[in-house]
Structure 1
Amino acid sequence: MRITRITTTAVTAALLVAGLAACGSSAAKAPSSSAATGAAGAGSVGLPGGAPKTELTLAAAVMQKAGSAKIALSSTDGSTGSGVYGWSGKPRLDFAEQSSGKPLKVRLVDDTVYLGASDTEAVLLGGKHWVKLPASGPGGQVAASFKTLELMVNPAAQLAAAAQAGTLKKVGAETLDGVQAQHYQSTMPVATLLQSMPDLTADQRTAAQDSLKSDGDSITTDFWLNDKRQLLQEKEVGSDSSATPETVKYTDLGTAVNVTAPPASDLGSAADAAKLLGGS
């Protein structure tokens, strides 16, 4: 799993706001705040069955109101990751990923990205466990790429982007992890997605274009909604035959997200970030 990857959900906050504003009175018909908190997956009666655009728009409002969740990522290449993410207000992310037997931690605190190493990998950082990525300069594009991780797993942004710009279809009711869910699918050209991101910085736009195009000219995203229009699971894959499908599961909606910056005494040199990413 390339956690620096920018997927169809890497949309700007402006796109999300525009999408939710477009809901208008429809968003007001979404479930109450009590339906937008708690464990995603509860209940199996009265699944959403309306038009895909309507249901995804309503689900975006539900997930925006929830504001946070525990997340679990997996890929068909065997990579996994898990953590906690808050997307309401200023994004907060505490995430740990395992790929090819090499663990990596990512924290997003106050718009700053930190990469974390295990005790074994800390030797690469002179005994330190964290690296703070610079917002500009040579490391700026790396930081921009990692900031897209929180966009990648932002359920409200995912759903809003698909509702606004995707070619949609209703796949049908399915059982997911023992829970009844309605399955919807969105396909979106990469060019369309990039046109929907006017507020990206130059580094973010470059990272988005490079990452998206590497997986094909379009991206297909699948969504599974429960009876409360909570997003239980999202799966995305690029159109290229070599693209690897990646899945995100959401649980414990509304969970507290308390993410703090690592202590300054445990920060290594930003120049060593490449070592944690597999570089020299």
Structure 2
Amino acid sequence: MGMSAWKRAGVCLTAVAVVVGVAGCQDGDGGGAKEKAADSAKTEVQTQNEMTEVLQAAFRNTSEAKSSKVRMTMTMPAAVGGGGTMEISGVQGWDPAVMDVTMKGPALAAGGPEAPEQVRMIMLDNVMYVDMGAKQAAEMDGKRWMKMDFAAIAEAAGDAELQKQMTNGLENMNQDPAKQLALLLESPNLKHVGPEKVDGVQTQHYKGTLSFDEMIETNESFDLLSEKEREELTANVEKSGLKGYDTEFWLNEDNYPVKMVVGMKMPQGTISMTANYSDYGAKAEVEAPAAEDTLDLMEMLGELGAGSEAGLDA
């Protein structure tokens, strides 16, 4: 494989890594509340108990759905990877975590002038596969898919912290709407804005703000962590400079989120993610590319290293 092919592959993977890196920086009634969230006749502000009941139903419904179609826009400040906007659309699942999406937008330019205008990405078993395109495949021994096992890469580097960050980055990139709802369960800062239409669908609009300390206090999942794990998590968040989350979501009449907006406050600015969800429960039939069409990034790095050593010996 020629060095130009390696360069273009590296450009594409750099762009993807920027997005993954940013992503890493982040009891109901049996499935339905007695009052539906988007009752168009209900315009008064809901009480805290009513909101909690609706949110519990939405959390349960979304968790049980396990998958949906998604359209997501991520906006990053200039101080984070050069900034820009990224659009992601496709299908995702969160039990298990899978994803088959197309990513496009100006933020891909972070990889340089040779970065592609859009890339298709498949995530399965904590491994990301990136479609490099037909042109690139011609210079990659006919293999158009690049396999990126971030955990394996980090493990080979002998950096446990890097391994955790990359793995979490993949998981967080595949935004689980149920987890976002869980952050606000029983939150004292949750507010009911009122009825609104989203893409022609009647919804109820809610919003809330959570500091990291409030996230720990209101999210029971943190109780499952050991004291050491909680200390490590807190230290990592403080190191990243994350101040908290601004969250807005719109629930349809069946208590499913149709839109969610999350703003992560960082010292460099606010990273904003807007996601529109539809077709809950649609089967996420995600399959890894055929092995003969796939080139492992670890093999690519090994080949580059061998080539460099040969050049030095010549």
What TM-score comes out, normalization by structure 1 length? Answer: 0.71
Q: Please list the CA deviations of residues 92-148 of structure 1 after superposition, one character each: whole Å capped at 9, or x if unmatched.
A: 221221132532333222x23123133145578665322131434137342431122
The whole-number CA distance in structure 1 between the counterparts of 2:293 and 2:250 is 40
Secondary structure of 1:244's aligned partner: strand
Residue number in structure 2 paired with 1:5? 22
For residue 289 of structure 2, what is the aligned residue in structure 1? 262
Q: Secondary structure at the match of 2:190?
A: strand
| Structure 1 residue 66, shift from structure 2 partner | 2.0
Where 2:270 maps in the other structure, the secondary structure is coil
Instruction: Indicate conservation of the 8 Å contact 1:131/1:268, yes or no.
Output: yes
| C-alpha distance in 2 between matches for 1:259 and 1:134 | 19
1:94 — aligned with what?
A: 100
The answer to whether the 8 A contact 1:96-1:104 is kept is: yes
**What amino acid sits opposite 1:85 in the alignment?**
Q
Contact 2:265 2:271 in 1 (8 A): no
Q: How large is the RMSD of aligned CA atoms in angstroms?
A: 3.8
Whole-Å separation in 2 of the counterparts to 1:266 and 1:58: 43
- Amino acid in structure 1 at the alignment position of 2:68: A
Show the counterpart of 1:173.
195
Q: Is the 8 A contact 1:219 1:236 kept in 2?
A: yes
Distance 1:223 1:166 in 2: 16
- Aligned counterparts, 1:198-237, within 5 A: 209=236, 213=240, 216-237=242-263
**What SS does the corresponding residue of 2:22 show, helix, strand or coil?**
coil
1:7–1:212 contact (8 Å) kept in structure 2? no
Q: In the superposition, relative to structure 1, how do residues 134 and 75 fare at CA in structure 2: closer, same or farther (>3 Å)? A: closer
Q: Which has the larger radius of gyration?
A: 2
Amino acid at match of 2:128: Y
Structure 2 CA distance for aligned equivalents of residues 235 and 123 of structure 1: 40
Between the aligned partners of 2:33 and 2:186, the Cα distance in structure 1 is: 21
Q: Indicate which of 145, 148, 151 corresponds to 1:135.
A: 151
2:6 corresponding residue in structure 1: none
Deviation at 1:47, TM superposition (A): 6.2
Count of paired positions: 243
Task: Say if 2:56 is the partner of 1:57.
Answer: yes
- 1:112 correspondence with 2:126: yes
Runs of 4+ in 1 over 6 A off after TM superposition: none
After TM superposition, give the deviation of residue 85 of structure 1 in Å: 1.3
**Would the aligned equivalents of 2:24 and 2:170 in 1 still touch at CA under 8 Å?**
no
Q: Distance in 1 between matches of 2:290 and 2:193?
A: 48
Structure-2 residue corresponding to 1:70 = 69
Give 1:38's aligned residue. Answer: none
Q: 1:234 to 1:125 in 2, by over 3 A?
A: farther
Greater helix share, 1 or 2? 2
Shift of 1:155: 1.6
Q: Secondary structure at the match of 1:160?
A: helix
Q: Report the CA distance between 1:165 and its aligned residue.
A: 5.1
Identity of aligned residues (%): 22
Deviation of 1:269 after TM superposition, in Å, equals 3.1
- Which structure's relative contact order is higher, taking Cα pairs within 8 Å and 6+ residues apart? 1
Give, in whole Å, the separation in 2 of the partners of 1:211 and 1:96.
32
Question: Is 1:132–1:267's contact at 8 Å kept on the other side of the alignment?
Answer: no
User: Is this contact kept in 2: 1:183–1:224, CA < 8 A?
Assistant: yes
Could you say which residue in structure 1 is the equivalent of 2:184?
A: 162
Describe the shift of the 1:238–1:83 C-alpha distance in structure 2 as closer, same or farther (beyond 3 A). Answer: same
Amino acid at match of 1:168: L
Among 273, 279, 282, the alignment partner of 1:246 is 273
Kept after mapping to 2: 8 A contact 1:53/1:168: no
Alpha-carbon contact 2:31-2:61 (below 8 Å) kept = no
Q: Cα distance, 1:238 vs. partner?
A: 2.0
Partners of 1:232 and 1:212 in 2: how far apart?
33
Other structure's SS at 1:254 match: coil
* Structure 1 residue 174 displacement after superposition: 1.4
